Amino acid sequence: MIDIHCHILPGIDDGAGDLEEALAMARISYEDGVRHIIATPHYNSVYAPDAAFVRASVEQLQQALDEAAIGITLHAGQEVQLAGAAELTQIIENQSVQLLGPTGSFVLLEEPWSGYHPDSEKAVRYLTGLGITPIIPHPERHAFFRDEPELLTNLISLGAWTQVSADSLAGNYNKEAQAFAEWLVDQDLAFTLATDAHNIKRKPNLSAGYRIVAERVGEERTEAIRERMRRIVPKVD
């Protein structure tokens, strides 16, 4: 499996606190069946590691994984919180943020937790115009999307994808997030699945998410999600 959203890089954001925890997260992921992880530290008003630093951190952690004989391949990415269309344009043009995986054709574009950003549609149009597909992470956890699903479906109509978190489907956040995640799956609006794992307590459990999707909508729709993941990290079995 491929995990496209994981805060596994140690000491960069609110994810893994140190190398020991990062290795523990990797072991849990491996045992769960994950073989590729895109490391996606936050890029927001609190944490703003630049792309070069993220890539260097991925290389360092990959070396540690190899030395520990943990059979996971890391890729660089970031979870970019939308602060405005102008700032997004600047950081994309300056290559300040790391796009997802080896293709660089996708980006995790997070909505602010304070509310739906008025520049969201403009941001999606801008990115898709560059050939970059924005992926909206964990929309089921945002109350404004749950209250007004048309805000999300409109972004999808403009070319955005979604990333539903396995923990949401498993009911590990709250009933509201679980119900909306299930609705997204049922409506074929769950484009990708990921863990959004941050530590060994908020740990990787991607297989549970896939199992729930398969139980709800069948193997064909589940395989469609896997295929989208392979577009983000190509040439992966």
In the chain, domain spans: 2-232
Which is higher by pLDDT, 69 or 104? 69
| CA separation for the pair 190, 60 (Å, rounded) | 32
- Residue 216's pLDDT is 98
Fold of 2-232: TIM Barrel (3.20.20)
Segment 19-31 mean pLDDT: 98
Average pLDDT, the chain: 97
Instruction: Name the pTM for this structure.
Output: 0.96
Residue 204 CA to chain centroid, in angstroms?
Answer: 12
pLDDT digits (tens, 9 = 90+) for 178-232: 999 999 999 999 999 999 999 998 778 999 999 999 999 999 999 999 999 999 9
Q: Integer distance in angstroms from the first to the last C-alpha of the chain?
A: 8
Give every strand in the sheet of 42-43, ordered side by side.
42-43, 79-81, 106-110, 133-137, 161-165, 192-194
Question: Of the candidates 62, 100, 102, 94, which has an alpha carbon nearest to the alpha carbon of residue 78?
Answer: 100
Separation CA 175–CA 111 (nearest Å): 21
pLDDT-based confidence at 150, cuts 50/70/90? very high
Q: Compute the C-alpha angle 46/50/56, nearest 5°.
A: 120
